[in-house]
């Protein structure tokens, strides 16, 4: 099968589709991945053909994300992100997308797009990994009207995202997706020495989210850790955080570390609530403290709180270090958080989400070919 994967967005968006691309390529399918130029090296390293979509650099995208810091409403942030970055990237690539689709059997995207090939719909899959604000939002993209040509793949755990079974039959829950390669990462000696030099640290990561004052955030994190006598590792990601504030050596900053390797070594994890991060936290069996930046992350925070997996949910812009210190203390000492996290760890660790997604896509394609 000739497959076109189109994905635009932050690092978390891209990594999910890279996992799926690797799995489909392993099964012998020919893939083209259309995405931003700054993801080209990772795409090619995976042996997948890359096609440039848009013209923006990572620095330009980060600048747009930072420009949303003054916007307090998370839904408005999400809308402005689409308007300022995503839509322009798609607009200038319309001809490129159409050209690739002409030689493709199947189209997979995170953008809820349906492509035409001649007079017919190009078969494909919508991949959903952000929980909707309301169940009534699900049908608005209209995949059902295409008479089975579009598969609805949900890259989340059904018990977490749809405990009452309200999504309905068209939505195929695969469970969370996992990068199996990350767990065998080899740590730099300095990081290993820090981990070995004391009790499990609190891990802090905001991934690609940069909609806050990073210096204030790091200062607040350092003060909170000092107040509750905890060590910390801050994963800078796209935030540009590289050095801790005065912390007496109890806080270490790193640019990138695979979550599957690092999270099991943590006491608890402070994060933004993105899908891939939530999945890695659950697999590690650790309690969370969440700083949601956009609407879907706030939805994940509520889900985790419902399952008693969250010791606190905060606004990064209005953080009180003493409040965060109290939440950290709860996360690392109260047994209910530890036990609930371990229960979820068993459930999520048994999921093979990427393989289940690839199975569903192949079965969908085979049904279409037979009809």
* Domains held by the chain: number: 2
244 and 312 share one domain: yes
Instruction: Decide if 81 is inside a domain.
Output: no
Tell whether 69 is covered by a domain. Answer: no
Pairing relationship of beta strands 2-6 and 124-128 according to DSSP bridges: unpaired
Residue 68 domain-assigned? no
pLDDT digits (tens, 9 = 90+) for 52-79: 999 989 999 999 999 998 998 888 998 9
Same domain, 225 and 359: no
Do the beta carbons of residue 296 and residue 302 sit within 8 Å? no
Contact 274, 255 (CB under 8 A): no
The sheet with strand 310-313 has its strands ordered as: 251-254, 232-235, 202-205, 269-271, 288-290, 310-313
pLDDT at 320: 94
Q: Considering the chain, what is the average pLDDT of its residues?
A: 92
The beta strands (E) that lie in the chain are given as: 2-6, 30-35, 49-52, 106-109, 116-117, 120-121, 124-128, 150-154, 171-173, 202-205, 232-235, 251-254, 269-271, 288-290, 310-313
pLDDT at position 118 is 79
What's the average model confidence in pLDDT over 265-270?
97
Q: Would you state the structure tokens that stand for residue 277, as one six-digit string?
A: 């991060």
Range of the domain at 341: 182-349
Residue 87 lies inside a defined structural domain of this protein: no
Q: Are residues 100 and 230 in the same domain?
A: no
Residue 50: pLDDT over 90: yes
Domain for residue 72, yes or no?
A: no
Q: Tell me the percentage of the chain whose pLDDT exceeds 70.
A: 98
Q: Identify the CA nearest to 371 among candidates 12, 85, 97, 120.
A: 120
Cα distance from N-terminal residue to C-terminal residue, the chain: 16
pLDDT at residue number 120: 87
For residue 279, the cross-strand partners are none
**Is residue 124's pLDDT more than 50?**
yes
CATH number for position 297:
3.40.50.2000
Q: Is residue 86 part of a domain?
A: no
pLDDT for residue 246 is more than 50: no
pLDDT tens digits, 150-191: 999 999 999 999 999 999 888 999 999 998 776 678 889 999
Angle, vertex CA 247, rays to CA 242 and CA 252, nearest 5: 40
- Contact (CB, 8 A) for 146 and 114: yes
CB 32 within 8 A of CB 135: no
Judged by phi (left if over 0) then psi (alpha if -120 to 50, else beta), residue 73 lies in: beta
Burial of 1 per CB tally in 10 Å (0-12, 13-18, 19+):
middle
The pLDDT tens digits for 194-205 are 999 999 999 999
Report pTM.
0.93
Q: Same domain, yes or no, for 303 and 322? A: yes
pLDDT, tens digit, for every residue of 289-346?
Answer: 999 999 999 999 999 999 999 999 999 888 999 999 999 999 999 999 999 999 999 9
Residue with tokens 């189209």: 107
Both 172 and 283 in one domain: the answer is no
Do the domain assignments include residue 165? yes
Residue bearing the bigger pLDDT, 120 or 371: 120
> What's the rounded Cα separation, in Å, for the pair 20 and 33?
11
The pLDDT value recorded for residue 25 is 97
Residues 108 and 239 in one domain: no
Does residue 35 belong to any structural domain of this protein?
A: yes
Question: 4 pairs with which residues across the strands?
Answer: 32, 107
């Amino acid at each position: 099968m000739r497959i076109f994967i189109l994905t635009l967005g932050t690092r978390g968006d891209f990594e999910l589709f890279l996992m799926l691309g690797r799995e489909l390529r392993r099964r012998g399918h020919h893939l083209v991945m259309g995405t931003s130029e700054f993801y080209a090296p990772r795409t090619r390293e995976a042996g997948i053909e890359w096609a440039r979509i848009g013209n923006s650099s990572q620095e330009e995208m980060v600048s747009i994300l930072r420009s949303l810091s003054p916007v307090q409403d998370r839904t408005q942030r999400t809308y402005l992100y689409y308007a300022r970055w995503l839509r322009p990237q798609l607009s200038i690539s319309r001809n490129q997308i159409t050209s690739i689709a002409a030689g493709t059997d199947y189209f997979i995207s995170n953008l809820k797009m349906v492509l035409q090939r001649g007079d017919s719909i190009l078969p494909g899959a919508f991949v959903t990994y952000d929980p909707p604000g309301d169940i009534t939002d699900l049908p608005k993209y209209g995949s059902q009207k295409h008479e089975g040509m579009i598969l609805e793949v949900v890259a989340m755990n059904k018990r977490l995202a749809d405990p009452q079974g309200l999504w309905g039959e068209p939505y195929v829950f695969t469970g969370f997706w996992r990068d199996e390669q990350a767990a065998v990462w080899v740590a730099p000696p300095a990081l290993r020495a820090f981990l070995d030099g004391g009790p499990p640290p609190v891990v802090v990561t905001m991934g690609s989210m940069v909609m806050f004052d990073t210096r204030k955030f790091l200062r607040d994190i350092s003060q909170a850790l000092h107040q509750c006598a905890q060590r910390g590792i801050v994963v800078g990601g796209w935030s540009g955080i590289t050095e801790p504030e005065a912390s007496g050596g109890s806080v270490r900053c790193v640019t990138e570390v695979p979550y599957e390797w690092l999270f099991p070594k943590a006491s608890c994890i402070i994060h933004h609530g993105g899908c891939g991060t939530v999945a890695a936290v659950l697999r590690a069996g650790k309690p969370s403290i969440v700083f949601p930046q956009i609407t879907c992350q706030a939805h994940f925070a509520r889900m985790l709180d419902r399952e008693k997996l969250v010791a606190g949910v905060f606004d990064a812009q209005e953080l009180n270090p003493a409040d965060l210190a109290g939440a950290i203390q709860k996360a690392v000492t109260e047994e209910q958080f530890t036990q609930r996290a371990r229960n979820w760890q068993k459930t999520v660790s048994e999921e093979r989400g990427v393989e289940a997604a690839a199975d569903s896509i192949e079965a969908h394609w085979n049904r279409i070919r037979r009809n």
